[in-house]
Amino acid sequence: SYELTQPPSVSVSPGQTARITCSGDALPKQYAYWYQQKPGQAPVLVIYKDSERPSGIPERFSGSSSGTTVTLTISGVQAEDEADYYCQSADSSVVFGGGTKLTVL
Amino acid sequence: QVQLQESGPGLVKPSETLSLTCAVSGYSISSGYYWGWIRQPPGKGLEWIGSIYHSGSTYYNPSLKSRVTISVDTSKNQFSLKLSSVTAADTAVYYCARQDIAAASDGWGWFDPWGQGTLVTVSS
């Protein structure tokens, strides 16, 4: 079955740039989507169609795609950005990555 | 704005059927979009269960397909999930969400917004 691979954890200091990757063989032909999930809360969409940002999401969140890897970039990380981040895409069905815990040091 | 709210039993016995409903407010299901179910075992990641269109057209996660039924009731503006023959491995927070496929143009789309989720525990 199709898998999306994310690093389990990423740590950055406040004000730095965090980059979270997601790899999958079908990503060159399928869009990727990113969700932020804080403890005890439902996921929130932060990036759609690889690089589009929904209204209400801060400009410091951006997405990019290159080959079989997509990247969520958070510029000028703030303490409130500490959360789990999941990528989502599809091959023959919808698939989520395993999630990355972003720690703000 | 669109809001989704899951409801159903929080405890289900092994081998029985889990049944949940997602009530949608602020948008008519009949107007479009797909509507999906996603679950998250405690401390683990997200797993897509399946989705339904207002016409009743469904598609399911192949790994769960034999046990899953998703239905829609447009008169009540809600959709439902049934998962049969549950085991402890089905213990999870179950979320419902609106799925935007049309705007995605990739045939699958994204989930937004999500309900708050409901914890279902499978235990005797």
Task: Note the pLDDT tens digit of each residue in B3-19.
Answer: 999 999 999 999 999 99
Q: Is residue A1 assigned to a domain?
A: no
Q: Is residue A4 assigned to a domain?
A: no
Percent of chain A having pLDDT more than 90?
Answer: 97
Q: Indicate the average pLDDT of chain A.
A: 97
Task: Note the pLDDT tens digit of each residue in A16-61.
Answer: 999 999 999 999 999 999 999 999 999 999 999 999 999 999 999 9
pLDDT the model gives residue B32: 87
Q: Is residue A2 assigned to a domain?
A: no
pLDDT the model gives residue B107: 78
Q: Is residue A40 assigned to a domain?
A: yes
Confidence class for position B122, pLDDT limits 50, 70, 90: very high
Mutate to test the interface with B, among A53, A93, A96 (most CBs of B within 10 A): A93
Decide which of A39 and B32 is more confident: A39
Task: Give B2-6 contacts, CB < 8 A, sequence gap 24+.
Answer: B2/B26, B2/B27, B2/B98, B2/B113, B3/B113, B3/B115, B4/B96, B4/B97, B4/B98, B4/B113, B4/B114, B4/B115, B5/B115, B5/B116, B6/B94, B6/B95, B6/B96, B6/B115, B6/B116, B6/B117, B6/B118
Amino acid at A73: T
Handedness of CA A31, A100, B62, B121 (dihedral sign): negative
Amino acid at B93: V
Q: Give the length of chain A.
A: 105
Q: Average pLDDT for residues B20-25, to the nearest whole number?
A: 98
Mutate to test the interface with A, among B46, B63, B65 (most CBs of A within 10 A): B46
Q: Residue A38 and residue B105: Cα distance in Å, rounded?
A: 29
> Which residues form the domain of A58?
9-104
- Min Cα distance A30 → chain B (Å) is 6
Q: Which of A1, A31, A42 sits opposite B104 (nearest CB)?
A: A31
Q: Is residue A80 assigned to a domain?
A: yes
**Residue B104 to residue A1, Cβ atoms within 8 A:** no
Q: Is residue A3 assigned to a domain?
A: no
Does the pLDDT value for residue B105 go beyond 80?
no
Q: Is residue A69 assigned to a domain?
A: yes
Task: Note the pLDDT tens digit of each residue in B37-84.
Answer: 999 999 999 999 999 998 999 999 999 999 999 999 999 999 999 999
Q: How many domains does chain A fold into?
A: 1
Question: What CATH number is attached to the domain comprising A69?
Answer: 2.60.40.10
Amino acid at B63: S
Q: Which of B51, B60, B110 sits opposite A88 (nearest CB)?
A: B110
pLDDT the model gives residue B29: 96
Q: Is residue A71 assigned to a domain?
A: yes
Confidence class for position B104, pLDDT limits 50, 70, 90: confident
Q: Indicate the average pLDDT of chain B.
A: 96
Q: A1 and chain B: CB distance < 8 Å anywhere?
A: yes
Please, which residues have CB within 8 angstroms of residue B105's CB and are 6 or more apart in sequence? none
Does the pLDDT value for residue B103 go beyond 80?
no
